[in-house]
Amino acid sequence: MRQGRVPIGMLASGRGSNVQAILDAAAENGFPGDVAVVLSDREDAPALDRARRAGVDAIHVDPLRKGARLAPTAEERILAELERRRVHLLALAGFMRILSPRFLDAFPGPVLNIHPSLLPAFPGLHAQRRALDHGVKIAGCTVHHVDRGIDTGPIIAQAAVPVIEGDDEATLAKRILAKEHAIYPEAIRAVLSASVADTRREGSIDE
């Protein structure tokens, strides 16, 4: 960790393009955080390879059960890995599991997620397909705080994209993903900068 940088943790299940966008942002001068660890419920997730190439700790955590939720023991391991690295902010990037209320209560910092719709429209899975099925003319993506609901937490940032005649799920998803890569690092920057400023005003940050 570079001096003055806030440790960031990431959870991912897939290819990790948003992981890469945040790794790239953290490599720039002036970004307030460094990615300290990337964890995945899938041992073969490309997101872990992206982390390793960047010299970031990459850890597979066996979910110990099928379905949308991790076993309590798996959540405890994730929390332990985050605590070990003093992670202040946790960013979900294509993490295909639902974190339990117990996990959210135990993690002391903000938990962020990126979703491929303009919330509150189309929460949950297959947002791009559902947007097309509903005939919307504008789609987009949202960075939000994670709460106990499904994509219901307070919104931090959004970006819109037009739905073009002839779009299918893949073409719309690709256009939205480009916006995700732009707004997710900036949302993290804003949350970390505000958090650091608040902590300094309280006089309890380590210099």
Does residue 124 form part of some domain?
Answer: yes
Q: Per-residue pLDDT tens for 122-171?
A: 999 999 999 999 999 999 999 999 999 999 999 999 999 999 999 999 99
The answer to the question of residue 207 being in a domain is no
Q: Is 115 a catalytic residue?
A: yes
Residue from 60, 88, 115, 144 carrying the catalytic annotation: 115
Res. 72: pLDDT tops 50: yes
Q: Where are the beta strands (DSSP E) in 5-137?
A: 6-12, 33-40, 57-60, 89-92, 111-115
Report the distance separating Cα 89 and Cα 99, nearest Å: 15
Total of domains in the chain: 1
Distance CA 9, CA 33 (A): 10
The yes-or-no verdict on residue 116 having pLDDT over 60 is yes
- Better pLDDT: 13 or 195: 13
| Per-residue pLDDT at 199 exceeds 70 | no
Q: At what angle do helices 46-53 and 17-26 cross, to 10 degrees?
A: 20
Q: Would you state the pLDDT for residue 200? A: 46
Please state the rounded mean pLDDT for residues 93-119: 98
Distance CA 91, CA 93 (A): 6
| 8 A C-beta contact, residue 57 and residue 85 | yes
pLDDT at res. 2: 79
In a domain, 1, yes or no: no
pTM strictly above 0.85: yes
In the predicted structure, residue 89 carries a pLDDT above the cut 50: yes
Q: What is the CATH number of the domain that holds 82?
A: 3.40.50.170
